[in-house]
Structure 1
């Protein structure tokens, strides 16, 4: 029985050692864009509580309630507009414009009008990522 216990303990230790040596998963794509551009103000979970948000007026939006605040529908087009500076008359925000989201390949995006338009893929991916943060 002791030999079996020792073998299991050794196997467990070996598994932990291998796991510790394995490369850590790195963020890519929209998750990386969010981490690099949004977490300072919105926080890693998108709740508006990043370290740069302290004392900011108005406070950064809680990105996790965008759908809730829009009748249960994620306002994807509005989010994309905000990211690239089209704020539809809102000037009270500290939100920077992320021009780099306009770079690169495009995808056809239909905002619900039935007329797909060429839209930067990185911008659509960022909006899709923010949609995953919804409560």
Structure 2
């Protein structure tokens, strides 16, 4: 399995931050939504309400959605938060494939500081950070 490097994540998030200035301020956003609410609205159709990969839209996909409760297990017991953030955002680099859409549109709201695994701090959409935190809490 290919992984996303921290450098690739930094480049993807920097590009996202640069594009943030182009977002129409009237765009749909809700800075008060929790990770579980955002997951239910954006992820559960494919990954299922329990995040185990069996959502209602699963049958129409080319590839079965991943069981998101096993991310840490598939990564040797460590939750790869930077890689998960890049995947949810839709970074099209190594490891991004299949039917997984990007979620740039939910990134139009408030930014928070994300600290990467190597200590870099990057302004990142709060909604994406909320989803990553929610997924981290689901790990078995």
User: What TM-score does the superposition give when structure 2 sets the normalisation length?
Assistant: 0.71
1:53 to 48, 53, 58: 58
> How many residues are aligned here?
108
Change (3 A) 1:91 1:117: closer
Task: Name the structure 2 match of 1:129.
Answer: 134
Cα deviation, 1:28-75, whole Å, max 9, x if unaligned, reads 422111111111100001000011112533110110100000011111
Q: Per residue, is there more helix in 1 or in 2?
A: 1
Where in structure 1 are there 5+ consecutive unaligned residues?
Answer: 1-27
User: What TM-score does the superposition give when structure 1 sets the normalisation length?
Assistant: 0.73
Whole-angstrom CA distance in 1 between matches of 2:96 and 2:68: 18
2:71 to 48, 51, 66: 66
Where in structure 2 are there 5+ consecutive unaligned residues?
Answer: 1-32
Q: Which has the larger radius of gyration?
A: 1
Check conservation: 1:58, 1:92, Cα contact below 8 A.
no
Compare relative contact order (CA 8 Å, sep 6+) and give the higher one, 1 or 2. 2
Considering only aligned residues, what root-mean-square deviation do their CA atoms show, in Å? 1.5
